[in-house]
Amino acid sequence: MDPSTTVIAGKSSLRNLLSVNDLGADGLHEMMRITDFFAEVSARPIPKVPVLRGKTIACAFFENSTRTRLSFEAAAKRLSADTMSFGVSGSSISKGESFKDTIMTIDSLGADAIVVRHPSAGAANQVARWVSKPVVNAGDGSHEHPTQALLDCYTIREALKEKSLSGLRIAVVGDLSHSRVARSNVLAMSAMGAVVTLVAPRTLWPASLDGWPVHEITCDLDPILAHTDLVYLLRLQVERGAGGLLPSLREYTATYGLTARRAAMMPKGALVMHPGPVNRGVEMSSEVAEMPTTLVGHQVANGVLVRMAVLYYLLAGPEGVDAMDVSRDASVLSDAESASLVALDG
């Protein structure tokens, strides 16, 4: 089997997480179930369990990040794992070290799992071919960002108090051509039953919709708002060239920015999401950013929980997951972990 191949079939082992397609519908629901458990753990006075004690998670970020990097590090620490963090600035890459040699160095230092972010599509898949340890794709170019899709689906599920997204009408709006978040979210949301519409200026459409399970793609935002349960706004990625594909930011905002006026056109209780960082006054106005139905803060918080679930599944395997019983573990671990964590943190 190709080392980059990762499949969940029923309860079989997940080797890596490189794409939402590695999970499938069953795997997505399983990750939601595991995340529910870690949500309960994180609500405790000491939001930490010793389940990955002795393991080391390496965060190899060849591209800048705040939310993803910090949440993976926080997730590892809540699982009592050690962390190694790599950033390009100050590394031997400035001396000419190759991507492969950098990864092999991280592997040789004893990482039990490697979380990779890279500006090139397919980079995480390549890492999975080089190393035998689990690899998590934390964003590769304009390709995919699977853990973002997981945390977004979990946030929607939490907001709606539903186990499924079945029938939910979602509009994904903005820079489709450069967005790894859009691709992963479309795959995950559709697999969980949502009906997804893509909205963007024609110059920001994907080159092809092959593999995008969407209801439709349109240039017109206003006509669909009254029939949309959730608007998912994408960051305009000027650093990847999006700005050069638009007449001006002002025109983009006038046509596709979610203003208070446009938000009022949505059904009562309709949700608003954004993967961050939000360009206020571009993708959404400050008024919309502060609405109670705008879930950006919840997305960030749930990122830690989802990444706890992913790391735990990859390193504990299906046996560890199947052994988890929320009611049993909540009572048994609470005393045991308190004693062990006092010693750990002492």
Beta strands in 12-168 (DSSP E): 56-61, 82-87, 113-118, 135-140
Residue 341 pLDDT greater than 60, yes or no: no
Phi, psi of 42 (to 5 degrees): -70, -15
Name the DSSP letter for residue 126: H
Name the DSSP letter for residue 17: B
Peptide bond into 277 cis (omega under 30): yes
Mean pLDDT check: name the lowest of 129-138, 139-148, 178-187, 326-335: 326-335
Average pLDDT over residues 159-176: 94
CA 169 from chain center: how many Å?
20
pLDDT attached to residue 244: 62
Indicate the average pLDDT of the chain: 87
Average pLDDT over residues 237-259: 75
Mean pLDDT check: name the lowest of 9-13, 14-18, 71-75, 119-123: 9-13
Query: Which CA distances in Å does 11 have to 18, 31, 191, 310, 317?
Result: 18, 11, 17, 14, 9
Mean pLDDT check: name the lowest of 40-54, 168-182, 201-215, 318-332: 318-332
Average pLDDT over residues 170-197: 96
Mean pLDDT check: name the lowest of 38-42, 226-230, 247-251: 247-251
Residue 314 pLDDT greater than 90, yes or no: yes
Q: Which two tokens stand for residue 190?
A: 């559709």
Decide if 106 contacts 130 (C-beta within 8 A).
no
Q: Which two tokens stand for residue 233?
A: 């706004």
Spatial separation of the C-alpha atoms in residues 315 and 74, rounded to whole Å: 16
Phi, psi of 126 (to 5 degrees): -65, -40
Query: Which CA distances in Å does 41 have to 75, 290, 337?
Result: 12, 28, 11
Residue 131 pLDDT greater than 60, yes or no: yes
What's the CATH number for 146-298?
A: 3.40.50.1370
Average pLDDT over residues 212-241: 90
Residues acting as catalytic residues: 67-68, 95, 117, 145
For residue 179, what are the contacts with CB-CB under 8 A and spacing of at least 6?
142, 234, 235, 237
User: Exposure string (b/e) for 63-84, b if CB count within 10 Å is 16 or more?
Assistant: bebebbbebbbbbbbbbbbbbb
Pick from 177, 91, 146: which is nearest to 307 by CA? 146
Residue identified by tokens 């190759």 is 98
pLDDT attached to residue 267: 97
pLDDT attached to residue 243: 52
Q: Which two tokens stand for residue 214?
A: 């969407």
Residue 98 pLDDT greater than 50, yes or no: yes
39-86, pLDDT tens digit by residue? Answer: 999 999 999 999 999 999 999 999 988 999 999 999 999 999 999 998
pLDDT attached to residue 337: 45
pLDDT attached to residue 11: 47
What's the CATH number for 20-145+300-345?
A: 3.40.50.1370
Domain ranges (residues) in the chain: 20-145+300-345, 146-298
Residue 340 pLDDT greater than 50, yes or no: no
Instruction: Tell me, yes or no, if the two domains 20-145+300-345 and 146-298 fold the same way.
Output: yes
Spatial separation of the C-alpha atoms in residues 247 and 326, rounded to whole Å: 53
Q: Which two tokens stand for residue 258?
A: 């979610």
pLDDT attached to residue 3: 38
Decide if 67 contacts 155 (C-beta within 8 A).
no
